[in-house]
Amino acid sequence: MSSTYGTLFKISTFGESHGPAIGVVIDGCPAGLPFDTDFIQHELDRRKPGQSRITTQRREADEFEVLSGVFDGRTQGTPIALVIRNTDQRSKDYSHIAGQFRPSHADYTYQAKYGSRDYRGGGRSSARETAARVAAGAVAKLLLQQQGVQVQAYVSQVGTLKLEKPYQALNLPLAEENAVRCPDPETAERMFQYIDETRKRGDSIGGVVDCVIQGVPVGWGEPVFDKLHAELGKAMLSINAVKGFEYGSGFAGVELYGSQHNDEFYTDEQGHVRTKTNHSGGIQGGISNGEDIYFRVAFKPVATIMQDQDSVDVHGQPVTVSGKGRHDPCVVPRAVPIVEAMAALVLVDMYLRNKVAQVAGQQTEKEAGLL
């Protein structure tokens, strides 16, 4: 089971939803980075359960501990180990499905692949694992901030309710001022009521998280298989409940002619090459072009609902699965920091890869007598 992501900036997450703890080991973080514990905890607080009545009522402080890799407030260039203790497990809530397969969960596929599964909250397949990603993503954000790169995600859709404004017309920091994490207050209130009504019916609803990345210079990303947008897509699709990813004009771009879709170049007053439009979403040929990078991530309705559903047990016999436990009626409000974290992990890895490539190129030129 692969639990590692990254090439130079690597993370390996561990732990289960109802185990003693979850955590992450970060390998490849440069030495000397100021390790802002308050910022990392703030990022975890944005993801933690129990934030409002439209999120799971599991009560976890999600306070992290540093086991290695940090000394005197700075990273040491050695593996950083972070652990988050689980304190509010209610494993008995899942005893009734020990031998049953919940519809649209990973129960059946894990059982078929491994011959066993941790049925307590989904074990390793639980979205609880994403807390470790957010912790690692916070460290990546600290490194990106030194490069002037900012990552901001927000909720743009819940069910059929859509925020129609483009990100340029929004005050994105306002997303953190409401429980839904939508930067438009009026739409946020309507989304909150939508989710709450869904919760009261014992049902769930999906949504969309948009992400905007600003400050990425030209040149991040690898050609062919490790294209920047391909890595972003992989990272987003690795998040629980994600069903779709698009960047730039995305699927809507098919409705345009090439003459409408092409991003024409010009040189600005500072002598920088820019594009008049940004249908490319800040990426061309798999490499950043200096414009804003933006993408959308679609999340399905949470699979666990407080209604009876038909299924089968481990013997293939028909059963009725009854929903119990504490679950989000809509995952997108808490998914915002997860999307940001995964984007940050992709970007910091690409930054380091680009840095290595530049050093290698300079060395080659030096050896050739060109420098």
pLDDT for 367 equals 65
Indicate the Cα dihedral angle 64, 68, 69, 70, nearest 10°.
Answer: 60
pLDDT in tens, 32-42: 999 999 999 99
Which of 328, 301, 240 lies closest to 48, judged by CA? 328
Burial tier of 34 (Cβ tally within 10 Å: 0-12, 13-18, 19+): exposed
Report the binding-site residues for FMN: 124-126, 240-241, 285, 300-304, 326
pLDDT (average), residues 185-190:
97
**Mean local confidence (pLDDT), 25-33:** 98
**pLDDT above 90 as % of the chain:** 72
31-35, 49-53, 199-203, 337-341, range with the lowest pLDDT: 49-53
345 pLDDT band, cuts 50/70/90, is: very high
Tell me the pLDDT tens digit for each residue of 147-170.
999 999 999 999 999 999 999 999
Q: pTM surpassing 0.75? A: yes
CB 299 within 8 A of CB 332: yes
Binding-site residues sit at: 47, 53, 124-126, 240-241, 285, 300-304, 326
Cα(first)–Cα(last) distance of the chain, in Å? 46
Q: At what angle do helices 228-237 and 332-367 cross, to 10 degrees?
A: 150
Residue pair 193/164 in contact by the 8 Å Cβ criterion: no
Higher pLDDT, 283 or 2: 283
CA 69 to centroid of chain Cα atoms: 24
Two structure tokens written together for 8: 């130079």
- Among the ranges given (18-27, 117-126, 172-181), the one the predictor scored with the smallest mean pLDDT: 117-126
pLDDT of 125: 83
**Domain annotation for the chain: domains and CATH numbers:** 4-355 (3.60.150.10)
Binding residues for NADP(+), as ranges, are: 47, 53
Q: Which tens digits make up the pLDDT trace of 284-312?
A: 999 999 999 999 999 999 988 889 989 99
Q: Taking the mean position of all CA atoms in its chain, how far away is CA 321?
A: 30
